[in-house]
């Protein structure tokens, strides 16, 4: 909206300069100089509007995603792990443009939260590559990727997906409401939570192991 107002003011100013010059009886030097300066100011306003629009682009529209809002946790999780999964997933859904969050650990889905479907999730080639390389994979526009069917079991029709590995043990998956919706700060936040979650899971596994003989 501010960019449009600035652009309109620039166009109006340039039009008034042209009208003023054409309606003047004689093109006197002071009038000519004033017209040139006013025209430069009008063009400057239009350039500012163009740069403003490029710097702050309009947000992509949300996709009409279908799913039942809810939370599903794996049974028999330790209380500390349940709390970690609960607050972390809630923060991701409220502080990022995520529509669904899924945590997969050692072959088991520990958490699904947000828009849910009944289809069981099974990691495919993209998730496997993230695990092998231990690097995040951000699919900013899922429609452009031939392997997008892998995430139909996460939530059909997702415009964007973020795959954050928990080293080679698990995954945190985020499905976004719109294409190119996840920012650099979102990626940093998910990476930090993934480290904390992995440490919690490994600590729980160590505590559950019997004492060595």
- Per residue in 38-71, pLDDT (tens digit) is 777 777 777 877 776 655 545 568 889 998 999 9
What average pLDDT score do residues 135-161 get?
Answer: 92
pLDDT number for residue 53 = 63
Long-range contacts of 16-22 (CB under 8 A, 24+ apart): 17/42
User: Minimum mean pLDDT among 33-37, 52-56, 70-74: which range?
Assistant: 52-56
Phi, psi of 202 (to 5 degrees): -70, -35
Rounded Cα gap, residues 14 and 16, in angstroms:
5
Average pLDDT, the chain: 85
pLDDT of 135 > 90? The answer is yes
- Per residue in 160-174, pLDDT (tens digit) is 999 999 988 999 999
- Per residue in 14-32, pLDDT (tens digit) is 777 677 666 767 666 776 7
Domain locations along the chain: 2-55, 68-208
How many CA atoms lie less than 13 Å away from 171 in the CB half-sphere? 30
**Inter-residue contact 159 to 178 (CB < 8 Å):** yes
Give the whole-number percent of the chain exceeding pLDDT 70. 84
pLDDT of 126 > 90? The answer is yes
pLDDT number for residue 213 = 44
Would you state the CATH architecture of domain 68-208? 2-Layer Sandwich (3.30)
State the pTM of this model: 0.71
b/e map of 162-175 (b: 16 or more CB within 10 Å)? bbbbbeebbbbbbb
């Amino acid at each position: 909206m501010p960019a449009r107002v600035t652009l309109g003011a620039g166009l109006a100013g340039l039009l008034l300069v042209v009208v003023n010059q054409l309606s003047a009886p004689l093109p006197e030097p002071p009038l000519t100089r004033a017209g040139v300066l006013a025209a430069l100011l009008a063009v400057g306003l239009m350039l500012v509007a163009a740069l403003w629009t490029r710097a702050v682009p309009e947000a992509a529209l949300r996709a009409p995603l279908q799913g039942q809002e809810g939370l599903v946790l794996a049974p028999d999780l330790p209380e500390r792990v349940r709390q970690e999964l609960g607050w972390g997933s809630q923060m991701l859904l409220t502080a990022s443009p995520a529509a669904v969050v899924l945590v997969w650990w050692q072959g088991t889905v520990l958490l699904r939260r947000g828009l849910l479907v009944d289809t069981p999730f099974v990691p495919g080639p993209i998730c496997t590559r993230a695990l092998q390389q231990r690097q995040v994979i951000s699919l900013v526009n899922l429609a452009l990727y031939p392997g997008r069917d892998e995430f139909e079991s996460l939530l059909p029709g997702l415009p964007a997906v973020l795959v954050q590995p928990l080293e080679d043990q698990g995954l945190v998956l985020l499905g976004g409401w719109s294409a190119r919706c996840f920012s650099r700060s979102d990626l940093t936040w998910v990476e930090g939570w993934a480290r904390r979650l992995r440490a919690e899971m490994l600590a729980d596994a160590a505590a559950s192991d019997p004492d060595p003989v």
